[in-house]
Structure 1
Amino acid sequence: MNQSQNVTDYPNKNTIFMVWKFKDQTDAAAVFKKLCSLVGNLNNSYAVRRPDGRTSCVMGIGHDAWIRLGMPNPLPKELVNFEPIVGIKHTAVATFGDLHFHLRAENEAICFDMAMAISDVLRPNAECLEEVHGFRYWDGRSIIGFVDGTENPIGEEREFFAVVGDEDPAYKGGSYLFVQKYLHNMKDWKSLSTEEQEKVIGRSKMDDIEMSDEVKPSNSHSALTAITDENGDELKIVRDNMPFGNPSKGVAGTYFISYASTFSTTKRMLENMFIGNPPGNYDRILDFSTAQTGTLFFVPTLDMLDQFGE
């Protein structure tokens, strides 16, 4: 029962992220049964209909929903309700979510149709807390102009860092999914020179080359999100961030999404960013990007979804 959902797929051109909360009087287990079958159907159908479209639908389950749905007990070892991480100036807020859907495709119409099919099942039974439509911006850049996800693992390393292994045998093949919706203060960001922006990120803007440790500021984003284990080996997560925006309303943001074999890896990165390393030396990007949400989910294997589905 170890066939993973599509957590290691590479970012696509179009994405829809949705967070849902079950209504109190809803038979959530019956609705979930339909969703498990639907997720499998969507993935299989588009693999046949559009084999070149790199389409995927990934469903994650929050801590409270896991219990309400009668999912296996004990729970995945690190599946908890995310708690706020409070620094001297910025806070990684915690927000609620029962289910998270990550829809990817080359064609925006496919994302839309998958979102409609999921919403048709959930709308009478749940409230949609977030719906964000992401898009590929130029050569994989965020709206602030820097390439996003350069440090992502590639090849076989993606599965190693993104998928639970033998350390939690009951959930081998699953993945911890953490999401945050960030809004950017583009006016303040654009007021910085390119050189100042590069110091905030720790990389060159045009050609995406990382600064040397001797030059890179200790409070730069790339410095604080690089973490290692007790042996000095680098720990990574699989990011699938996407930009979004509404120019007429002055809205520009990044939907941060992390797949990891343990949530503790992502949590350490967040603590470095918001609290600082050492404390007080927080990530300078937070002076321009504000976290609006923060929720942890667990992504079961496709085999588990088949087991619970109709």
Structure 2
Amino acid sequence: MNTPQPGILLPVPPLARYLSFSLGDTTRIGECLRALSNLADGENMVVGFGQSLVSALNSNIPGLKSFPLITAPGLSIERAPEAAWVWLRGDDRGEILHRSRRITQALSPALQFEESMDAFTYAEGRDLSGYEDGTENPIGDEAIKSAIVGADQPQLAGSSFVAAQRWRHNFDRFESMPKAEQDNTIGRRQSDNEELDDAPESAHVKRTAQESFTPEAFVLRRSMPWAEGNAGGLMFVAFGASFYAFEAILNRMTGAEDGIVDALFKFTQPVSGAYFWCPALRDGKLDLTPLGL
């Protein structure tokens, strides 16, 4: 019986690293993915594969596609490397580094290492803006329903789809806002996380209220802050049984649905994004059979 990679459903760890890979020697993909499967436990290492890798294997994962080109005033989102994505979870930065090295070695030469980004838990689960992140996340059975492909799709049962974006915050711009404007941008008070009844329609909470879509658009967020030098932001990670919910929310945020742009864009911008399919586990290893391996 296939089971989800458990790290998807677990709380975010104290520390993490995200690895992205592009295609290399495509004749070696099979052997390198089998080597990766021996390393990946799905708990401390969550793995996803992108459309370019699936296409190189002449396979098909129903529902998987490339990240959409998104346009909005002043917004430019690049597609991140989409062959493979690895989310390393842990509490020791040195141990994560060494795991990162072993994974990169296992995937070479089939996949080319492109970039890594270290992330961390801040202030007991807050974004670097100081606001709580993931307040409306589904829990328990609802989290499984939202994030994991069900038995009605036997080929993919137990797997998940993930949208990964890197958001870069403009801290100077944010800190120049009066406190009331900050709260209205998010739609919650930073002090107690209470939602504002009189927040403007552009408030992030109102733009992304998951129950307000038809059908409802629940995703399981596992986002974490990142920092590099004096720059920082959010590694936005949303798992779903499909990409429907993520795309519905993003379309509304950018104003594509009703012309109202999410106020979040006042101080932060997504700079890259990619889609991946996260296989289920079988007998404790990544189930690669949907890829024809």
2:103 is paired with a residue whose SS is helix
Residue 4 of structure 1 is matched in structure 2 by 4
Quote how far apart the aligned CAs of 1:226 are: 1.4
Is contact 1:163–1:173 with CA below 8 Å preserved after alignment? yes
Show the 5 A alignment for 1:47-62: 56-62=44-50
Is contact 1:65–1:98 with CA below 8 Å preserved after alignment? yes
Show the 5 A alignment for 1:1-310: 1-6=1-6, 7-24=8-25, 27-40=28-41, 56-71=44-59, 73=60, 75-76=61-62, 78-212=63-197, 215-228=198-211, 234-247=216-229, 250-279=230-259, 281-303=260-282, 305-306=286-287
Is contact 1:92–1:270 with CA below 8 Å preserved after alignment? no
The amino acid across from 1:162 in the alignment is A
Quote how far apart the aligned CAs of 1:277 are: 4.2
Q: Aligned partners of 2:211 and 2:18: how far apart in 1? A: 30
Q: Aligned partners of 2:133 and 2:115: how far apart in 1? A: 22
Quote how far apart the aligned CAs of 1:175 are: 0.5
1:219–1:307 Cα change, 3 Å: closer
Quote how far apart the aligned CAs of 1:91 are: 4.1
Q: Aligned partners of 1:246 and 1:29: how far apart in 2? A: 34
Is contact 1:37–1:306 with CA below 8 Å preserved after alignment? no
Quote how far apart the aligned CAs of 1:157 are: 1.5
Q: Aligned partners of 1:161 and 1:100: how far apart in 2? A: 21
Q: Aligned partners of 2:163 and 2:46: how far apart in 1? A: 13
1:188 is paired with a residue whose SS is helix
Q: Aligned partners of 1:104 and 1:200: how far apart in 2? A: 31
1:171 is paired with a residue whose SS is coil
1:235 is paired with a residue whose SS is coil
Runs (5+) with no aligned partner, structure 1: 44-54
Determine what percentage of the aligned residue pairs are the same residue.
Answer: 26
Is contact 1:161–1:238 with CA below 8 Å preserved after alignment? yes
Give every structure 1 segment of 4 or more consecutive aligned residues whose post-TM-superposition deviation is greater than 6 Å. none
Q: Aligned partners of 1:307 and 1:88: how far apart in 2? A: 41
Q: Deviations over 1:211-247 (max 9, x none)?
A: 22xx1211111111113477x6743111111111134
CA RMSD of aligned residues (A): 2.3
Aligned residues: 288
The amino acid across from 2:15 in the alignment is N
Q: Aligned partners of 1:294 and 1:206: how far apart in 2? A: 31
Runs (5+) with no aligned partner, structure 2: none
